Amino acid sequence: MQKIAIIIPCYNEENRLRESDILALISSTSATIFLANDGSNDGTLNLIQNISSSYPERVVVLDYKQNQGKAATIYKAVNQISKENSFDFISYFDADFSTPPSEIKRLLSEIEDLKYSFLIGSRILLLNSGIQRKFYRHIIGRVIITLINTRFKLGIYDTQCGAKIFSSQIVKEVFDKPFLTSWLFDVEIFIRMKKKDLLKTGREIPIYNWVDVDGSKLGFKSGFKIIKELFVLHTKY
């Protein structure tokens, strides 16, 4: 059985992170769950510490005092886990569990069964699927990926889905330096992978159930930041 780490970045998630979702992962997978606090200023740290104390062998708290954003938190957590532990795969999912535990379980089983180096979830609205996504977020996402694929030709339908699993070998290759962007750090990962001819070692698979949970930090104002980061990617890569 493969050893798998799940990172859940947490910034002010006191009202969205549910212990029941963590328990569902514990009961349905063998993964070790790392709750990474990104300098939250609400009750998030107390919440995740209480969860960890209830399941000390399966849930670990990574407490980063300074808020630096999801990209920096994922980067720090991945490298800390890689140095202190020996996992075959390291994954990350959003704290609101927009990708529900049942889908996370399926993705983890897929990575073990199919022997790919990485898997990424894709929110494709298929017949009878349970994808529930706000229209404006869908439009923003399609514009972003169209621009990205025009420039970098990644061939990925959904770079921004917060459901990703990478092998330890991939981690060594693409998490070797901090990201230049915050909103588009996932794209940076794939650009780095393409430059090292690693995209062919993985697979993008549809997620059957996904819910746009209220409280997301992405809105219309974020579009200006994303445009700026697209320019950064264009000039730096």
Digit-coded pLDDT (tens) for 88-145:
999 999 999 999 999 999 999 999 877 889 999 999 876 667 677 666 666 777 778 8
C-alpha to C-alpha distance for 120 and 128, rounded to whole angstroms: 21
For residue 149, what are the CA distances in angstroms to 9, 127, 138, 154, 159?
27, 25, 16, 6, 10
Specify the pLDDT at position 88. 96
Q: Is the pLDDT of residue 216 over 60?
A: no
Q: Is the pLDDT of residue 176 over 80?
A: yes
H-state helical runs in the chain: 19-28, 44-54, 70-84, 101-114, 135-152, 168-174, 185-195, 222-236
Q: Is the pLDDT of residue 214 over 80?
A: no
pTM of the predicted protein model: 0.91
